Every structure is written in C-alpha cells, then in structure tokens.
Amino acid sequence: MNSQGEVEIRLATPEEAPLVHSVTLDAFAEYRNLPTPSGALSESLEDVEGLMREGVEQAALCLVDGVAVGSVRFLRSKDGLYFKRLAVRPGFRRRGIARAIVGWLEEYARQNGESVVWCNVRAEIQQNVRLYASLGYEAYDERVVVRSDGARVPVVSMRKAVKPGAEARRDSATGWGGALPGRGW
C-alpha cells in the first residue's frame, strides 16, 4: 500500500459504530447530488449501531496512525461474505486503502470458512465496477433494486472465489464465465 503512516485494518467493535458511521458519511458525501443519492447518506448512527450490536452486520476499520480513515460493513450470507459501504475518507484516497480493506475482507472470509466474497455496485459508478474487476471480482448479475424509499437503482453484483490457501485470480478457473455480455470494462 502506498500510504504513509502506520496502517492497521481490524474488526470494529459495536462501540466504534460512530467511527464507522462518520467515515461512511464522509466518503459517500460525493453522491449526495446524484438523482438518487446513496442510501448510505440516510442511515443514522442508531441504524448502524443497532445492526452491529445485534450481530446482523460486522464492520472493519482502517486506521492510519490511529485515525479512522476507511471502513466497510459486511455479513455472512448464504452466498458467501457480502460487503457494502466500502469507504475511504477523501483525503486518504488513491493510496491503496480500499484495495487493502478488500484484501483484509478476503482473508477474513477464508479464515472463517467462506469461499466467496461478493458485493453490489451501482451500475452508473463505473470506476467502482472497475475497481472490483481489477481486484478479481466477476460481474455475474445486473438488475434494478427497488429501495425501501421506492427509488430504483440499477446494480451490478460482483463476486470472487476466495478458496482457503489459494488466492483466486480474475482470469482463473472460477468457472463463472467472465463479465456480463456486452460490457467493456
């Protein structure tokens, strides 16, 4: 990682929900003016804290010299480890922090017996689709999600095999047939 300072990525405790929430808000603020703003911006601290306390979700934090600059939330689903709200504060971007957090998640998944890591990405935010593709994630589904507020959001589902002891490669034998037809990333 091209990052100055001491970098630590670790699980967040429920007491650290305020840090997770504030990093997320800071990172997703850039989507405030989209026609359909990110749902991350309307989540309250109580929402996030409740999910973490009840064990519905877990979160990880990335700290640089002890300061929280990145976060992600995740849960174990029937399809593997699902993550969302990957977030890096604007002042700390393009240093490989998001890549490192995703790498940490993959290792966490392996150590906990999961063989797949997956996420949903807004189809319109192509740089995020490219980010995950560059990390070995395959797009395998595309659909319109209808949010609880009625907003319709086209999303791409992306996943990666993380077999214990064997790093999966994007072009390797995942058996998942590559990117969606007609998509030129």
Ligand X SMILES: CC(C)(COP(=O)(O)OP(=O)(O)OC[C@H]1O[C@@H](n2cnc3c(N)ncnc32)[C@H](O)[C@@H]1OP(=O)(O)O)[C@@H](O)C(=O)NCCC(=O)NCCS
Contact footprint for ligand X (CB under 6 A):
27-28, 30, 86-88, 93-99, 121, 127-128, 131, 134
Q: How far is the CB of 88 from ligand X (least distance, A)?
A: 4
Nearer to ligand X, 111 or 127 (CB): 127
Nearer to ligand X, 38 or 58 (CB): 38
Q: How far is the CB of 100 from ligand X (least distance, A)?
A: 7
Nearer to ligand X, 52 or 72 (CB): 72
Q: How far is the CB of 93 from ligand X (least distance, A)?
A: 3
Nearer to ligand X, 30 or 107 (CB): 30
Q: How far is the CB of 86 from ligand X (least distance, A)?
A: 4
Cα torsion 20, 22, 25, 30: sign: negative
Q: How far is the CB of 64 from ligand X (least distance, A)?
A: 11
* Region of residue 5 (phi > 0: left; psi between -120 and 50: alpha; otherwise: beta): left
Nearer to ligand X, 165 or 184 (CB): 184
